[in-house]
Structure 1
Amino acid sequence: MAVDELDTRILRLLIEQPRTSVREYARVLGVARGTVQARIDRLERDGVITATGPVLSPAALGHPVLAFVHVEVTQGHLDEVGDALAAVPEIVEAFSITGGGDLLTRVVARDAGHLEDVIQRLIQLPGVVRTRTEIALRERVPHRMLPLVESMSRGGGAERRPGGR
């Protein structure tokens, strides 16, 4: 979906000031409240805005260890293993991937021993062949979307057509 400058300005406000009212966004942007609300509604409907809840810190919740666990799965069991991963609360994300492994999970833990316990649970799941774990040392670039959105509104993310303009 293409975003224009006003969409980008609205998204910036939503990211930087998530508890502000639509009326206040409209005042800051210098546009009508109805315009801002209609844009937000469209961005939600088009799937650009997917959530409005708080972002939680696993570390602040007592799980400061972050690891990426690659999971190799027996052929034909990807869906079953994926469903089983959803039952492990320490797995905060999981993706099907190409390359070395079938699934990549983001796992949080209280400490190294707890991480080992989680990995042992994964290894025991039916259909899991093996795992490979990488522990994150420090976050270098936090999860972010605003630079991407801003590059798109400047034309940096526009689709290029072969031989076209």
Structure 2
Amino acid sequence: MDDLDRKILGELSQDATQPYAAIGQAVGLSPPAVHERVKRLRASGAIKATVAQLDGPALGKPLLAFIHVDTVGWGKTAALMALENWPEVEEIHSATGDTCLILKVRVASPLALEGLLSQIYDTQGVRGTRTYLTLSTHLERAVQAEVSTDLETMAGIK
């Protein structure tokens, strides 16, 4: 992946519906060249899918929460991974530290969150949870293609 690929991905992450001509104009390539690069990026797996980013409150799910799930053992059991089938669960992450899994969930109300937590507690292998409600969201976006080359320098690694 080169800098042009990253620029194309940056354009697509802002608006995946824009025509190749507009992307080409933004990155300095012809539309057919952009099309070929996008096909290659899809084939390589760099572009996993093209989806609509939905608004939780507009869909009746204004409450965003992160649930830390403590489990018996490693925690990646079939029963726990089946949480991916619940429409309220947006993300599931294995984690280090004092929790095994972190779930990102959106629900309609505190009562709906209570029902979801009840179902999680009833899942085999769950020992406990800690839930963090968001008050407001300042940044929410997909993975970004750009790379900050000076982060290691800023951290004193180099």
Q: TM-score range by the shorter chain?
A: 0.7 to 0.9
Secondary structure of the structure 2 residue equivalent to 1:38: helix
Secondary structure of the structure 1 residue equivalent to 2:147: helix
Q: Residue 29 of structure 1: CA displacement?
A: 4.1
How do 1:79-118 and structure 2 match up within 5 A?
Answer: 79-118=77-116
Instruction: Give me the identity figure in percent.
Output: 29
Unmatched runs of 5 consecutive residues or more in structure 1: 161-165
- Name 1:34's counterpart in structure 2: 32
- Name 2:10's counterpart in structure 1: 12
1:126 to 116, 124, 133: 124
Q: Residue 21 of structure 1: CA displacement?
A: 2.0
- Name 2:147's counterpart in structure 1: 151
CA distance in structure 1 between the aligned counterparts of 2:133 and 2:37, rounded to whole angstroms: 40
- Asked if the contact 1:84/1:125 (under 8 Å) is kept, the reply is no
CA distance in structure 1 between the aligned counterparts of 2:34 and 2:48, rounded to whole angstroms: 17
Q: Residue 140 of structure 1: CA displacement?
A: 2.1
Q: Residue 30 of structure 1: CA displacement?
A: 4.2
- Name 2:52's counterpart in structure 1: 54
**Alignment coverage as a number of residue pairs:** 154
The alignment yields a C-alpha RMSD, in angstroms, of: 2.5
Q: Deviations over 1:57-83 (max 9, x none)?
A: 222110000111011111255222332
Secondary structure of the structure 1 residue equivalent to 2:135: coil
CA distance in structure 2 between the aligned counterparts of 1:158 and 1:135, rounded to whole angstroms: 30
Which amino acid in structure 1 is aligned with residue 147 of structure 2?
A: S
Out of 12-21 and 51-60, give the one that drifted further: 12-21
Using the size of structure 1 for normalisation, the TM-score is: 0.79
